[in-house]
Chains A and B, each alone.
Chain A
Amino acid sequence: GESVGLHLPTLSVQEGDNSIINCAYSNSASDYFIWYKQESGKGPQFIIDIRSNMDKRQGQRVTVLLNKTVKHLSLQIAATQPGDSAVYFCAEKPTGNQFYFGTGTSLTVIP
């Protein structure tokens, strides 16, 4: 099966600082990647995606970077807020329809 791993299981940041969450993926054929946010008691919520023909994509306060050479994905959150506290998952999709998810990084924002 596929393996999507996260470099750090937990991350604590001060409110207002930038957060960086990393993810390593295993399948070089993966052509689509997503970051999800999951708050306690809720299902995962889409944050941002990126296709393999791109290196960077920006959203509102979030940026995803894709380095295909080392099979690495990162999520940057600017000016982290208490509402950003959650578990963040990366997911990769090789050709086909199945997503493979990492185990998640728990982000805690310190007020």
Chain B
Amino acid sequence: KAGVTQTPRYLIKTRGQQVTLSCSPISGHRSVSWYQQTPGQGLQFLFEYFSETQRNKGNFPGRFSGRQFSNSRSEMNVSTLELGDSALYLCASRPTGVMNTEAFFGQGTRLTVV
């Protein structure tokens, strides 16, 4: 079974631009969460999608948004990029209908804003 796939792996953008990152969850997983990871900050929760609906949201500005498609693939978008948005963005999927189970992470997308 293929793991969580994130594309692209690396991205360089200029301040003010927008960016879209993609995540394909493990087949059969309908829950997809996004995290931002920066040095010294650990993983900061962005949002979670389930069945095309945002179920939870972290404390990030409205410039960060996401969506989920009917095949459970998810995208996140960051508009008006700032230097501080440079980070590793991780996507994780979880099985459906199982409350206490681990999240399976992708390799992440390394975003650099210059």
Interface residues in chain A, defined as those with a beta carbon under 8 Å from any beta carbon in chain B: 1, 4, 31-32, 34, 36, 41-46, 49, 51, 89, 91, 93, 96-104
Contacts and interface: CB of A to CB of B under 8 A. Distances in A.
Interface string B24-62: 000000010101000011110100101000011011000
B56 A43 contact: no
Contacts, number: 59
A97 B56 contact: yes
Nearest to A5: B42
B70 interface: no
A103 B40 contact: yes
A98 B108 contact: no
Counting contact residues on chain B (CB < 8 A from A), the size range is 20 to 34
B21 to A, nearest CB: 13
A46 B42 contact: no
Given A97-B56, A101-B43, 6 more contacts: A42-B108, A49-B100, A89-B42, A97-B55, A100-B45, A104-B42
Contacts of B35: 101
B31 to A, nearest CB: 7
24 contacts: A1-B58, A1-B59, A32-B100, A34-B103, A36-B105, A41-B107, A42-B108, A43-B4, A43-B90, A43-B92, A43-B106, A44-B43, A44-B105, A45-B105, A46-B104, A49-B101, A89-B43, A97-B31, A97-B50, A97-B94, A98-B33, A98-B48, A103-B40, A104-B42
